Each structure stands twice: as structure tokens, then as C-alpha cells.
Amino acid sequence: MKKIKLDEGLYQYQFPPFENQHFGFNIYALIQDDEALLIDTAFEEQAQAVIDDLANTGIQVKKVVFSHFHPDHISGLPVLNSPELYGSYLYKSTLEKYIPKERHHYFEGVNLITDGNALSFGAFRLTFKLIQGHVICGMYTIINDAYIHVADDVMTSNGGLPLLPSVQVGNAQKHANSLELLKNYASYTLLPSHGNAFKGSADILQAIQDRQSYLRAIADSDEPITVEKALKNVKCDFLHKEWHDYVYS
């Protein structure tokens, strides 16, 4: 685990990838006095490492914001001590698809977020923009008009190398649309769920363009296309090209 201070009271906990994978896992912590708000929880092992580190300085997790409800973002919740939960009002369809029913009780009482909702936590003001494409219940979290947590819309390895967007053909255009929205925040620092925080408008806009090129190639094709054809106009070299095998599944 790496603990990276991004700003006063804002930390990134970065965990390595599993074997034979390139993507690690991030949990972000906003700290105000002796309380913390987490964005995502990864799996139980990662969540436990974060709460142990926070507990060493007398900090308890009081709130959790979920960027979306895929297992690698929510499965750490059971080790936490009943924090307040926040997530997209569309979360249940994803929860029911990926999480066994006997674990659904952990997510009872989620505070439902709609587009443009805001949440204050000490010196931090969070606003939310709902997105779709990677998953129906996706959500950008904007922090103090300086940082934006981008869920899985922009993913990199822990070394900063780009990861292929994870999408199914029917959602490719929606994914491209959410990235179009992200262009409005190119002056912010991007906080990905997988990979390194990064900033710089030119680099961010290029990262968006590369992903949109791939997604639009899929969306605009009347028949399945190969990953090579979909990446024809992309300037970067994506890792995990094998994810393209699931686009049409």
C-alpha cells in the first residue's frame, strides 16, 4: 500500500494489482479532524488497511461515497463500522447483478444521489455528476472545484500507462458522452479509481480523446470490429486490449 498526500486532508491509498493484471485499486480519504470520508472501499483487505492506518492517528470513517457499485469498489464495506453511505439513485440494478443477496443488507440506507447534488464534509464541498457507459450507476465526484474523481472512465496502471476502456457495445456511446462531460473539468486534477492522479489540461484532453476514439469506433460500427480497427486513430498504447473480447458478449 502507498499513501499519497494530494492536498491538505486529501489522501490517496493505492494498492497493487492482482496477479497477471495491470490495474491496482485506489481508496481516497478526505480527513477532517478525527473523521474521514472515503471514496470507494475496494475489497475487504484494502479497506481494512485504510481504516487501520487512519485508526493509528485516531481517525474513524464516518462517510463513504461510492463512484459506482462494481465489486472492486464496494466490497470493502463490511469491515467498516456502519458509516453513512452515498451513491447513485440507480445503484440497485448493479448491486443486484454483481453482489450476492445475502450481502445486500450492508447497503441498506444508501443516501441516493441525483445529478448536481452536493455534500459538505468539513472543509470539503463535494458535488456529483451522474454518468453512464462503463456502468449505469456511475458518478463523478467533484471536490472543492479542484479535483474530480472519475470512477473508471479514465483508468491507468499504477505506473501511469493507459488501460483500455471497459464497456459493452450498447453502452459505448454513453461512455463517450460521459467523457465529453469530463472535458469541462480538464483544468482539475483527475482522481481515477485505478491508477495515478494526474493533471494538465493538454494531457487530460488527449487521454479523453484516445478513449472516445475507441468508444466511438465501436458505437458507429454496424457490426463487430476488431480491437485493431477500433484503435486505428488512437495515439496511445492501451494495456488490457483483451478486454475488447467482452465488448460484444
Q: Where are the domains of the chain?
A: 2-246
CA separation (Å) from 37 to 115, 145, 158, 224, 229?
20, 17, 23, 42, 42
d(CA 161, CA 188): 20
Q: Closest Cα partner for 152 from 169, 168, 140? A: 140
HSE at residue 234, side-chain half, CA atoms within 13 A, is 26
What's the CATH fold of domain 2-246? Metallo-beta-lactamase; Chain A (3.60.15)
Grid cell for residue 90? 440507480
The edge-to-edge listing of strands for the beta sheet with 10-15 is 2-7, 10-15, 25-32, 35-39, 60-65, 84-88, 111-113
* pTM (predicted TM-score): 0.97
Largest Cα–Cα distance of the chain, in whole Å? Answer: 57
Rounded average pLDDT per 10-residue block, the chain, 249 residues: 98 95 95 98 98 97 98 97 96 95 95 97 98 97 98 96 97 98 98 97 98 98 97 97 96
pLDDT at 20: 86
pLDDT at 122: 96
